[in-house]
Chains A and B, each alone.
Chain A
């Protein structure tokens, strides 16, 4: 068998998930939980360690929009729950 470096879910006490952030808050992505969401973000050039800014929420409260590096994306709250941020 091939050993694969795995991402062990770890939640640092100061971190909070993306869903809880407010408009304009900035932070650093520390951890992305779940392979599927990780892949979707990696394909857009986004990974743990990147700085992000909360850009706003869609008029009906979902999805939310964030800017990472110079890429603006929108993501549903359900998925945003799995993205952990150290708020600056």
Chain B
């Protein structure tokens, strides 16, 4: 759905802003329930969450803005929040703002709230996690705080579902705008602000002052005006920075004065549980053991546990196919429906369990506060390769999908570090590689092999993940030197207190991510499946007719018991004469050194759009029913594995899927780009140049690594 349809301009818009880790997305979820739309902010890939709320007899829009600590942005996603609040012409510009803060971090929450108020918005302060404050025997006088700030203040706990009803009730009437600004702008600026006003007539004094200190561009102000504003103050970057620091300092001091009056703390603070938990999670040995253990658990879930829902989906889709076959007369339309469309949909839906598991774990790690500890213990390891610990999150997210991970890099403030992270993220094995790995690994490891608790296939898979991660570090190291990147940026990160994740919140996230996968990646997979069906089913007409007539003659003369197998051979021959085969045979000379035949060649071509298409291509290529297998009750994937294992080279008679070839394919898919969506998102985030560099280096790396693997393994085992 288009964004403009959802947001009707007649409705009042409430923006939800707040410090990172203040529980903003949980509050958004509890206020909006399932009634939300997720999209992107125009021109960028930062997630935009919008909901239409029906409260009493009133409808309003609620928009969730990226978490920030001030309105002086340092990274791309912080800029979104700052832009939406400052640009009166912005599509998302709110009529009023809810500032959310963590009750245990009131000082910075109040300071930020004052900044939002100085922008002139009717503001409500929402103090979340009030239960944590009470657990430490502290008491907040909300009424007094409200008096000091001159705005409504609510204390809530999203986790304990406290104060939500009152907050909803409050949203039904609009509060008045704040009366006077908190920040006393130095009188020396008076004349200058008047002049800025020529360019920003609607803006109040603080907005003008802020514009003066900001370095960033603004698409709502003509560049010429912006340049004139910049020249007005003749403020050097250093002076601007110091003025910003002074402003924040003044606000913190004011927040302290207020807190002195409104917050009652016991003389000796209670010992935080977080410290005890930290002792384990950041332990020199156990810290890393737990980190690797968590990764293993995630892979185990994707590999072993997701198997059950996946087989249900297969069974369901199989039943639908059988139904269609039984109901419709044989025709090309039925073929298209069964082998093209339904197979295509199956190829999309089948991933949902794995993606859901992945996002389930990633959201738990984020919500619980563990992710920050992973950054903390990994920072030193990542640094020589041009990363900070911050890149660990996008890289770990890359295990789910490179696309959201590349978007996540917007929180990295150094442009070069961000670029390096984007360039290597596709090397991290994503969930779309899982079906490819699954199929290929099954070709050489029987399902029953286990070592200790772990499935042998899961171990190989883990190995492939580590290989991808290792390669990502190596390539990052190379780019670090090519780009001459020397990290000079400041690295300061909050380690939030550990919290119990909220299952409802996680459920919503998992649902959203799975759905957006179906909607986004699904489109490509679906389109490719149909194109592929056409390529496989049709071929150069002459050749087809010739095969048809040759076999027809043979079948007519053959004894009755040979008709079945002759018909099968005919279908195989027809297959070899399809457009897909022509295409595959054209590239065969290039891929022969890797140990691939033209059938694999077709899969390589089709899976360029999306690597997971490899599996569906293989099943379409090998779809014709061998009468010898007709009695087989196994699921489709197992049948495919058996069929591939039987596949022999037409000249040498050796199996096509030898160990060397399968390993070579695994390596190829571990490194190759094979994802149009990643290419698209990289172009959006870093430009065409880097998108092309990315696809080139990844293809070259995949080709030569696969070639080397095939050569080495063939040499080894003869």
Contacts and interface: CB of A to CB of B under 8 A. Distances in A.
Contacts of B285: 59
A73 B233 contact: no
Interface stretch (B416-424, B490-498, B557-565): B490-498
A56 B282 CA distance: 9
Interface in A51-82: 55-56, 58-63, 65, 69-76, 79
Contact of B246 (A5, A62, A72): A5
Interface in B73-109: 104-105, 107-108
Contacts of B243: 4
Nearest to B70: A43
B283 A76 contact: no
Nearest to A7: B242
A39 interface: yes
Given A2-B239, A47-B249, A59-B284, A79 B492 contact: yes
B241 A35 contact: yes
Interface stretch (B325-333, B347-355, B373-381, B665-673): B373-381
Contacts of A55: 275, 278
Contact of A70 (B105, B242, B278, B375): B105
A44 interface: yes
Contacts of A65: 278, 282, 376, 495
Contacts of A35: 238, 241-242, 245
Contact-residue bracket for chain A: 35 or more
B250 to A, nearest CB: 10
Contacts of B376: 58, 63, 65, 74
Contacts of B239: 2, 4
A42 interface: yes
A59 B282 contact: yes
B245 A42 contact: yes
B434 interface: no
Given A63-B376, A63-B379, A69-B107, A41 B282 contact: no
A42 B70 CA distance: 9
B287 to A, nearest CB: 6
A70 B381 CA distance: 28
Contact-residue bracket for chain B: 35 or more
A20 interface: no
Interface string B232-248: 01110011011111101
B248 A63 contact: no
A37 B490 contact: yes
A7 B241 CA distance: 12
Contacts of A79: 490-492
A75 B380 CA distance: 11
Interface in A1-20: 1-7
B189 interface: yes
B241 A36 contact: yes
Contacts, number: 118
Contacts of B579: none
Contacts of A72: 274, 494-497
Given A1-B234, A42-B249, A71-B105, A58 B380 contact: yes
Nearest to A69: B107
Contacts of B494: 44, 71-73
B275 A73 contact: no
A33 to B, nearest CB: 12
Contacts of B490: 34, 36-37, 40, 79
Interface in B297-349: none
B186 interface: yes
Interface in B582-600: none
Contacts of A43: 69-70, 108, 248
A58 B495 CA distance: 12
B408 to A, nearest CB: 19
B252 A45 contact: yes
B361 interface: no
B188 A2 contact: yes
A58 B372 CA distance: 12
B380 A62 contact: yes
A40 B107 CA distance: 15
A26 to B, nearest CB: 13
B385 to A, nearest CB: 14
Interface in B218-243: 233-235, 238-239, 241-243
A37 B413 CA distance: 13
B538 interface: no
Nearest to B265: A70
B41 interface: no
A37 B376 CA distance: 18
Given A45-B107, A55-B275, A70-B105, A40 B380 contact: no
B362 interface: no
A63 B380 contact: yes
A62 B252 CA distance: 29
Contacts of B495: 65, 72-74
B473 interface: no
B498 to A, nearest CB: 11
B111 interface: yes
Most buried by B among A3, A7, A36, A58: A58
A7 B111 CA distance: 21
B186 A37 contact: no
Given A60-B381, A63-B380, A70-B104, A41 B252 contact: no
Interface in B164-189: 186, 188-189
A20 B242 CA distance: 27
B288 interface: yes
Contacts of B491: 63, 75-76, 79
Nearest to B248: A42
Interface of A: 1-7, 34-45, 47, 55-56, 58-63, 65, 69-76, 79
Interface of B: 69-70, 72, 104-105, 107-108, 111, 186, 188-189, 233-235, 238-239, 241-246, 248-249, 252, 255, 269, 274-275, 278, 282-285, 287-288, 375-377, 379-381, 389, 489-497
15 contacts: A5-B242, A5-B246, A7-B242, A35-B238, A40-B492, A42-B252, A44-B69, A45-B107, A45-B111, A59-B288, A60-B381, A62-B379, A65-B495, A72-B497, A73-B494
User: Which 10 pairs across A and B sit closest by C-beta, in order of nearness?
Assistant: A45-B108, A43-B69, A60-B380, A59-B284, A42-B248, A40-B492, A72-B495, A35-B241, A45-B107, A76-B491
Given A63-B491, A71-B108, A72-B495, 6 more contacts: A42-B252, A43-B108, A45-B255, A70-B269, A71-B494, A76-B491
